[in-house]
A = this chain, B = another copy of it.
Amino acid sequence: MPVIVECIPNISEGRRPEIVGEIAAAVGASAPTVRVLDVSSDAEHNRSVLTLAGDPAGLTAGVLALFAQTLDVVDLRTHRGEHPRMGAVDVVPFVPIEGVTMAECVALARTVGEQVASRFGVPVYLYEEASANPARRNLEDIRRGEFEGLAAKMATPGWAPDFGPAAPQPSAGASVIGARMPLIAYNINLATDRLEIAKRIAAAVRHSSGGLRFVKAMGVMLEGRGIVQVSMNLTNFEKTPIPRVFEFVRREAARYGVNVLESEVVGLVPQAALMATAEYYLQLEGFTASQVLETKLRQP
C-alpha cells in the first residue's frame, strides 16, 4: 500500500499567475514523489490554493520549497485581498489519505513547522489535530486580527508560537500548519422554494447551533432552479458520516412537509466515505477496503 498524504497550502498571492506558476513549479521540482494536483487562484481574495499529494519526506521538501519561493515574492506589508490572512504562506494542512494515520500527519506537521521556523525565521502555530492547545485548534481563532494585528497578538499571554520567534517575520507574518481530516463539500437540494426552510434545517444540522459535531451548514437559494439548498462542509466524515447527515436533513425536511430532491458532492470525496455509505444502508458486516477490487489491484 503506498503512503499518500494530501497537503493543501494556501498562499497570499492570487493576482500574478506567473508568480503562482513559479511557486507551483518549484514545489513540483522539489521531490520526485510530490505531485501538484491542482492550483486555484482567486484575484478578489488575492490568494491561491495548491493541492499536493505525496509521501511525508516528499511533502516536507515540497513545503520547504514553497516557503522559500513564496517568501521571496510575497510581502504582506503591501498585500491586499478579501480573504483573512496572517502569513505569506498562510495555512498548510496535511490530510491522511492512504496507508497513513492522523498521528503520522500530526508528526509531519510538527516536523515541517520546526523546519520552517528554523530555516526561514517564520513563527509557526500548530492547528486542528496538530494543536496541543484547545484554544488554538481552530484556524479562525488563530488568525483573528490578521497580519496587521499579529505583532500585538503575539505579545499577548497564550499566543507565543509553537515554533520560531515570538514576533512576526517582517514581510511573511506567521504560518499556521496542522493536520486535519479531508473536508467533504456536500449539498442537499429540497423540493421547495422557501429559503427559510433551508435556513432552519441548516441551523438544526450544524454544530455551531446545536447540530452534528462535524457539520458546517447554511441555507441558500438556487435562483436559476427555484429551489433551496442546505449547503454543508463535513469536516470529519468518519465521526459524522454522510448517510447520518442525509437522514438527519431528510427527517427535518419532512417535518415541514418537504421532500429531498437530490444531493451532491462538490469536488473530491474519499473512497472510505462512499464505502461507509454503502455499509450504513446495506447493513454490511465485516467489509474492509481491501475488498474493493481497484484497491486490491493497486496493491504490490
A residues whose Cβ falls under 8 Å from a Cβ of B = 4, 6, 35, 37, 53, 97-98, 182, 189, 242-243, 246, 260-265, 267-271, 274-275, 277-278, 280-287, 291-298
**With A277-B278, A281-B277, A281-B281: A292-B268 Cβ-Cβ less than 8 Å:** yes
Residue in B4, B53, B265, B294 whose CB lies within 8 Å of A270: B294
Instruction: Give this chain's copy count.
Output: 2
User: 8 closest Cβ contacts across the A-B interface?
Assistant: A277-B278, A262-B285, A281-B281, A268-B293, A274-B278, A262-B283, A271-B294, A270-B293
Query: Could you say which of A4, A189, A284, A291 has the most chain B C-beta atoms within 10 Å of its C-beta?
Result: A284
Task: Report the bound CA distance from A291 to B4 in whole Å.
Answer: 17
Whether B271 lies near A284 (C-beta < 8 A) is: no
Task: Report the bound CA distance from A294 to B261 in whole Å.
Answer: 28
Task: Report the bound CA distance from A295 to B271 in whole Å.
Answer: 8
CB neighbours (8 Å) of A277 from chain B are 277-278, 281-282
Whether B287 lies near A271 (C-beta < 8 A) is: no
Q: Is the interface of A mostly helix, strand, loop or mixed?
A: mixed
* Least distance between A220 CB and chain B CB atoms (Å): 16
Whether B283 lies near A263 (C-beta < 8 A) is: yes
Whether B270 lies near A287 (C-beta < 8 A) is: no
